[in-house]
Amino acid sequence: MPADSEGKEERRENPVKEVIPLKGWRKALADLMLRSHSEYAGVTQMREINFSEMMNLRQGLIVDLEGKYGVRVSYTHLLMKATAQALLEHPILNSSIVGDEIRILEDINIAMAVSLDDGGLLAPVIRQANRISLVELAQRANKLAEQIRARRFSLNDLKGGTFTVSNAGMYGTDFVTVLITPPQSAALGVGRVVSKPVVKGNQIGIGSMMGLSLTYDHRVLTGATAARFFSTLQDLIENPAKLDLGV
């Protein structure tokens, strides 16, 4: 590259390769995430959870439910069902701040993050996730994901979420922190499943470990309250016989 008389490299403005307009879903998502970052007192707790028993449960459910109902249950479906059950025990996480009030909501509506081919991200809502069976949850979730990716959804499909589950494990991520979607108070980030040595009793074995991240609004709940919810969720995941699947 040519140099000037003082031996410095000539500087030029970096040419723009492509312009992506910040409009539509990009603008809406940008505004929402900026609001979350600027208005929320977001804090994240992380845990590595043994997912082995949940994987065993899913293997049995795949054979049973796919044959009976034609639905294939995923890890995300099971995690949403476990999350809904844990929220029943810790309802403060299923809340919104309105003015000077924390309003605990009756319906548990799980928003499920769905990635798009163009890099977009939308979160359709599974309503009353605590009141429906695992089969119905999986059917609704699969249908909504298909509609989102085919751009055949309504704005109502994206409204009313009270808690978000975002699974980044399919992309090889170990842990992911999730910005809370206003007006929700918490969100769960899901990492991949990795085989690791684990200690059980006095024995060392191999466990299928999953990284989970719970991000919550510190204005709404304390770290101890969040940890109690996380412990309940961990117990349900590691002991899935306690799950109320409704099937």
Beta strand 125-126 with 203-217 is unpaired
Among residues 149, 154, 165, the alpha carbon closest in space to that of 116 is found at 149
Among residues 71, 42, 187, the alpha carbon closest in space to that of 121 is found at 187
Kindly name the residue from 37, 77, 90, 218 that is annotated as catalytic. 218
The answer to whether the beta carbons of residues 43 and 218 sit under 8 Å apart is yes
* Whole-number Å distance between alpha carbons of 87 and 233: 9
Examine the residue annotation and report whether 90 is marked as an active-site residue of this protein. Answer: no
Beta strand 163-167 with 186-200 is parallel
Token pair of 81 as six digits: 């069902």
* Whole-number Å distance between alpha carbons of 224 and 43: 12
* Whole-number Å distance between alpha carbons of 52 and 93: 26
DSSP category for residue 11? P
* Whole-number Å distance between alpha carbons of 208 and 200: 13
Task: Determine how many CB atoms are found less than 10 A away from the CB of residue 121.
Answer: 14
Mind telling me the catalytic residues?
A: 218
